[in-house]
Amino acid sequence: MASQRIFQLGLRRAAAPGLRVQPAGRMVQRRLAATEHTSQSQAAELLAKQRVQRPVSPHLAIYRPQINWVSSSLNRISGLTLAGPLYIFGIAYLIAPYTGWHLETQSMVAAVAAWPVAAKAGVKVFFAFPFFFHSLQGLRHLTWDLGYGFKNQTFIRTGWAAVGLSTAMGLYYAFLG
């Protein structure tokens, strides 16, 4: 019953114009969006400009960085930091006899001994942190494989522990070891 009355009231208001004077603002038609005629090439160009400004979905800026995904990224980067030079040196060592390079142990030791102390320390620091971080992350993964440490607080604590310990061990190795 109420729905019929509402429907009839709506029909009456739409059919019969009001007798009183309405403000001019209500009678003027307004467009909230401006439109203009564009060619196909202009439309494609405009669309390309809009795509450049659009964020990648899902946009990473909406997330607060967490130790879990930061340590995962650093673990992969540290693995590449260690594996890349190893592969490059291994290939260079294999082709050294054919190219005339001297990569024997004695020549390598003599070359590194001639470096300044700052260069030796820099190379040690560059390789020490990734080595220890990757090793400690490997231990974290082994504990996960055993079924331990799956609480969120444990993830956070072990992640920060891996960062702190690898920094301390890397600095110790680089300067005192």
Judge whether 12 lies within some domain.
no
Judge whether 110 lies within some domain.
no
Provide the domain limits for residue 169: 66-82+116-175
Judge whether 98 lies within some domain.
no
Contacts of 52 (CB under 8 A, 6+ apart): none
Tokens representing 54?
């659009």
Tokens representing 133?
């971080």
Residue type, 11: L
Judge whether 127 lies within some domain.
yes
Task: Give the pLDDT band (50/70/90) at residue 34.
Answer: low
Task: Give the pLDDT band (50/70/90) at residue 32.
Answer: confident
Judge whether 25 lies within some domain.
no
Q: pLDDT tens across 68-105, in order?
A: 989 999 999 999 999 999 999 999 999 999 999 999 99
Task: Give the pLDDT band (50/70/90) at residue 38.
Answer: confident
Judge whether 75 lies within some domain.
yes
- Give how many domains the chain has, as a whole number: 1
The pTM assigned to this predicted structure is 0.64
User: Which residue is associated with the tokens 């082709």?
Assistant: 95
Q: pLDDT tens across 3-29, in order?
A: 777 777 676 666 656 556 566 656 666
Judge whether 102 lies within some domain.
no
Peptide bond into 58 cis (omega under 30): yes
3-state secondary structure of 122: helix
Quick one: pLDDT at residue 37?
A: 82
Judge whether 126 lies within some domain.
yes
Measuring CA to CA, which residue among 83, 77, 74, 82 is closest to residue 160?
74
Distance from C-alpha of 82 to C-alpha of 130, rounded to nearest angstrom: 7
For 144, other C-beta atoms within 10 Å of its C-beta total 14
Q: pLDDT tens across 134-169, in order?
A: 999 999 999 999 999 999 999 999 999 999 999 999
CATH number, position 132: 1.20.1300.10
